[in-house]
Amino acid sequence: MMRSIPPRLRTPLITLVGGAVCAAVAVAAYGWGSLLHLGPVTILGPALYYVWGGRNSDSAAMIRYQVDERQAYRQLKILALVGRVMGGGAVVAYLVAFAAKATLWPFAIFLALFGVATLAGWVIYRERGDGRDDSPGSPHSWLTSGQ
Amino acid sequence: MRNRVREQRTHRGLSQAELAAALGVSRQTVISIENGRYLPSLPLAFRIARFFDLAVDKMFDPDDEETAT
């Protein structure tokens, strides 16, 4: 589906749909007045992404989902940093909430997500035979016996 | 790791944008490779070497360990 959308419109459209969903939730919960705050952000965000996506830069390539291998690697490093900060933040936030005797479950959800995502990443991106001695005669030689 | 990408590119009178288009990467990536800030993957290293009709070890010199990704 993503491929059928022109590259420059991909992130703006995703942002627009996400913003519209947030705006709908806000209207349902707080009434039409909430659109005064969310409306401009919902419209300006995608517009900014569209303008920025036309540039010749790494960030623009990421916005267009047209990254080459260096940009993909850079994006991965950025995501890894975000993950570390968010994971650390979840732990700190839980401890602060625990110390302040505040409601814990929202922080516990983020902690659990952190753990589940780590486990899922470990399973999804596992490599067959990783770290095992697969030389002939070793217990794991079956890993390469078919080659 | 030193490489001869800039040397080969200028020798052939190519711009960074033209080389980038030929290799299927961005101009910024060509700049990063030329400056030694980014070590290309093996497939890209082979593409670069083949583009310039050189062997990979002639294109990239592993003896100089000054820069790394």
Query: What is the full per-residue pLDDT of chain A (147 aa) written as tens digits?
Result: 677 888 899 999 999 999 999 999 999 999 888 888 888 888 999 999 999 999 999 999 999 999 999 999 999 999 999 999 999 999 999 999 999 999 999 999 999 999 999 999 999 998 876 667 777 777 777 766 655
pLDDT band at B65 (very low <50, low <70, confident <90, very high): low
Length of chain A: 147
The pLDDT of B28-33, averaged and rounded, is 96
- B36 touching A, CB under 8 A? no
Q: What is the mean pLDDT of residues B4-17?
A: 96
pLDDT recorded at residue A145: 65
Predicted local distance difference test score (pLDDT) of residue B36: 92
Torsion A70-A74-A75-A77 (CA) sign: positive
- Residue B15 sits at the chain A interface (C-beta within 8 Å): no
Q: What is the pLDDT of residue B52?
A: 96
Per-residue tokens: A122: 């470990």
Which residue of B29, B35, B46, B67 is the best one to mutate when testing the A interface, meaning the one whose CB has the most A CBs within 10 A? B29
Residue of B26, B32, B39 for testing the chain A interface, max A β-carbons within 10 Å: B26
Cβ of B25 within 8 Å of Cβ of A61? The answer is no
What mean pLDDT is reported for chain B?
Answer: 91
How confident is the model at residue A68, as a pLDDT? 95
* In the predicted structure, residue B64 carries a pLDDT above the cut 70: no
DSSP A61-95: HHHTT---HHHHHHHHHHHHHHHHHHHHHHHHHHH
Q: Determine the pLDDT at residue A135.
A: 77
Give the residue-averaged pLDDT of B25-42.
95
* Cα separation, A134 vs B34, whole angstroms: 38
Give the Cα separation of B2 and A85 in Å (integer). Answer: 34
| Rounded CA separation A108/A114 (Å) | 10
- Contact state of A69 with B28 under an 8 Å Cβ cutoff: no
**How many Cβ pairs within 8 Å bridge chains A and B?**
27
